[in-house]
């Protein structure tokens, strides 16, 4: 089988700590749907039916996410053209030692057709974008050097400037021909010892396809999960398929999935997503842009504000979760509070005035725990009762008292 597209999904995604310690980044959930599914949507927009997925780190996670695509219509996604296929034909290619995007592409060479799309496996593109032959996706957005800056002259890509501020971003998607492999043969490693596809793109005569930054997101850091969820909720289908008890109040665009339960005394202000089998209430408050994923639990006297609770996360009583992401099977003890605003009103982590905690899979907190703005808690850590966490916590730590670094 020759593929019409290749998805680069082999990287570890270390910037996404704590979530990628226990799950490959393309498999991270956005409204109960793997990030990889949204990448596949982009390929479907372009009529792709056969896809190679390059894997390495936690390859089984990526394979499972890919193979679940198309099995059911998700509650949230931009409208898809009717003519594209519901399912994709998939081939998985394992990259050996991870030596960069150019090396990842070379690992799939023998499986690709003469004309194909290359796309990073961590992109969220929420607008149908058609990639014509010999093209590069370019994002209209200012940045401070955290992205590559394409230089376009006479409507052709001539250079990609790395680590320099600019007003355009390399969008991480390209439509190429097999000519690229001739260029890759002569590619020299970058200063960090990797072979980068961006080093050969300027020699291929690519033309830009522009996209507005509101419809493109590089999901690279924990807080990007919040941004991605907020953007996807523009397409949220308001419907009630689960059970809503008398005395619950739902306002705005609220999606209650099958087998979910919203108990009496709950107040929901949409847009809010409540996934399959989730339980909310009694007497809890869900504020806009909150995501309660499948099997999650929000209990009595709990307030959730613009946060994401991943699969089977539990916040059962007397807690506040604001601008935060809780990983799979997290359990918050009674009175656990996420702080999301500094006294001096400065941006947290340089990102936002309001930013809460990012809590890895299977973390447990005791009663009356306080998590300060922007802290990241490594997977499988225990935060003991009355602890106050000011600094990032490594995976598997045991935290007692006031924590400013150095796990107990």
Same-domain check for residues 196 and 304:
no
**Same domain membership, residue 240 and residue 191:** no
Q: What sign has the CA pseudo-torsion 100, 106, 107, 113?
A: positive
Looking at residue 101, what is its pLDDT? 93
pLDDT at 78: 53
Report the candidate in 304, 299, 301, 338 with the shortest Cα–Cα distance to residue 316: 299
- pLDDT of res. 99: 83
| Average pLDDT over every residue of 314-327 | 97
Give the residue from 221, 249, 282 where a domain finishes.
221
CATH code for the domain in which residue 52 is found: 3.90.550.10
Write out pLDDT tens, residues 251-302: 999 999 999 999 999 999 999 999 999 999 999 999 999 999 999 999 999 9
**206 and 239 part of one domain:** no
* Local confidence band at 71 (pLDDT 50, 70, 90 cut-offs): confident
372: domain CATH number? Answer: 2.160.10.10
Structure tokens at 67: 């193979």
82-91, 309-318, 346-355: which range is least confident on average? 82-91
Rounded CA separation 174/282 (Å) = 49
Only one residue has tokens 């593109």, namely 125
Examine the domain organization and report whether 116 and 258 are in the same domain.
no
Residues 178 and 251 in one domain: no
Report yes or no on 314 lying in a domain: yes
pLDDT at position 205: 96
Of 177, 193, 221, the last residue of a domain is 221
Chain CA centroid to CA 382, Å: 25
Q: In terms of domains, do 159 and 238 share one?
A: no
**Radius of gyration (Cα) for the chain, nearest Å?**
22
Query: Do residues 28 and 35 lie in contact, with contact meaning Cβ atoms separated by under 8 Å?
Result: yes
pLDDT of residue 74: 65
pTM of the model: 0.95
- For 8-66, what is each residue's pLDDT tens digit? 999 999 999 999 999 999 999 999 999 999 999 999 989 999 999 999 999 999 999 99
In terms of residue numbers, what domain contains 202?
Answer: 3-221
Asked if 249 and 268 count as a contact pair (C-beta separation under 8 A), the reply is yes
Residue 319 and residue 262 in one domain = yes
**Which residues are part of the catalytic machinery?**
317
């Amino acid at each position: 089988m020759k593929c019409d597209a290749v998805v680069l999904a082999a990287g570890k995604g270390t910037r996404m700590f704590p979530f990628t310690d226990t799950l490959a980044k393309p498999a991270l959930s956005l409204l109960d749907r793997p990030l990889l599914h949204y990448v596949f949507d982009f390929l479907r927009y372009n009529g792709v039916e056969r896809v190679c997925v390059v894997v390495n780190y936690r390859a089984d996670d990526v394979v499972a996410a890919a193979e679940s695509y198309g099995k059911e219509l998700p509650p949230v996604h931009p409208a898809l053209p009717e003519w594209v296929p519901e399912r994709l034909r998939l081939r998985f290619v394992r990259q050996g030692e991870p030596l960069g995007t150019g090396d990842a592409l070379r690992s799939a060479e023998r499986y690709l057709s003469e004309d194909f799309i290359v796309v990073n496996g961590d992109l969220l593109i929420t607008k149908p974008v058609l990639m014509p032959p010999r093209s590069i996706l370019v994002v209209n957005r200012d940045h401070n050097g955290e992205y590559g800056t394409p230089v376009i002259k006479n409507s052709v890509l001539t250079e990609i400037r790395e680590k320099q501020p600019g007003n355009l971003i390399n969008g991480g998607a390209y439509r190429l021909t097999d000519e690229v492999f001739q260029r890759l043969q002569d590619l020299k490693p970058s200063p960090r010892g990797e072979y980068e596809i961006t080093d050969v793109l300027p020699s291929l005569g690519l033309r830009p396809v522009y996209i507005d930054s509101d419809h493109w997101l590089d999901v690279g850091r924990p807080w990007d999960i919040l941004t991605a969820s907020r953007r996807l909720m523009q397409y949220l289908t308001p419907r009630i398929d689960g059970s809503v008890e008398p005395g619950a109040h739902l306002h705005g665009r609220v999606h209650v999935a099958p087998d979910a339960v919203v108990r009496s005394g709950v107040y929901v202000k949409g847009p809010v997503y409540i996934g399959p089998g989730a339980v909310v209430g009694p007497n809890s408050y869900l504020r806009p842009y909150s995501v309660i994923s499948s099997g999650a639990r929000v209990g009595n006297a709990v307030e959730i504000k613009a946060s994401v609770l991943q699969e089977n996360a539990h916040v059962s009583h007397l807690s506040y979760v604001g601008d935060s992401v809780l990983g799979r099977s997290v359990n918050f003890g009674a009175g656990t509070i996420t702080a999301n605003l500094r006294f001096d009103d400065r941006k947290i982590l340089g990102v936002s005035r309001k930013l809460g905690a990012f809590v890895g899979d299977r973390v447990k907190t005791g009663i009356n725990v306080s998590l300060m703005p922007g802290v990241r808690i490594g997977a499988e850590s225990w935060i003991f009762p009355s602890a106050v966490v000011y600094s990032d916590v490594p995976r598997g730590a045991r935290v007692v008292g006031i924590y400013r670094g150095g796990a107990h």
